[in-house]
Amino acid sequence: MVNYMVNNEINIRTAEYTDIPAIYKLVQGLAEYEKEPDAVTASLADYKASFKEGWWSSEVATLDQKIIGMTIFYRSYSTWKGKMMYLEDFYVDADHRRLGIGEKLFKSFIDLAKKEKCVLVKWQVLDWNEPALNFYHKMDAEIQKGWWNGLVRFTEEK
């Protein structure tokens, strides 16, 4: 854990295009934490292009203007419930955990969803990730079981 002076302040703000390399690095850190370091196949260029196209949004946590945490999310629609946001990724750098940064980031994401009049937010959490499960329970989140993920993968033709 990094020690820092009490008057250093953690800020949560909307991510900007120039933040994308730092966000991408945090995504790679998340993949390593989840024991899938080779699973990140989207490139930094992919991130930049899709951010410009509005595919995803992000908030970042900064300390001394260095990005140390982030959320990546997008707007979606529940055909049963209405407007929602999907939290794709949520990560705080390992050296800055247990300082309340994750709680600030998560609450900021929740506040944004409320401001945009969403009726729910959704995300996934791995069943073995006890620290994350404990965190979400602390945040009064409901962890649903019984829904399986479906997906179709597309590969680029060479």
- Which of 33, 74, 86, 136 is an active site residue? 136
Which of the 8 DSSP states describes residue 99? S
Beta carbons within 10 angstroms of residue 70's beta carbon? 27
Tell me, yes or no, if 33 is annotated catalytic.
no
If you search the block for the tokens 């930049």, which residue do you land on?
48
Within 15-100, residue ranges assigned H as helices are 20-33, 44-52
Distance CA 155, CA 111 (A): 36
Q: How are strands ordered across the β-sheet holding 82-92?
A: 10-14, 57-63, 66-78, 82-92, 120-123
By annotation, the residues acting in catalysis are: 136
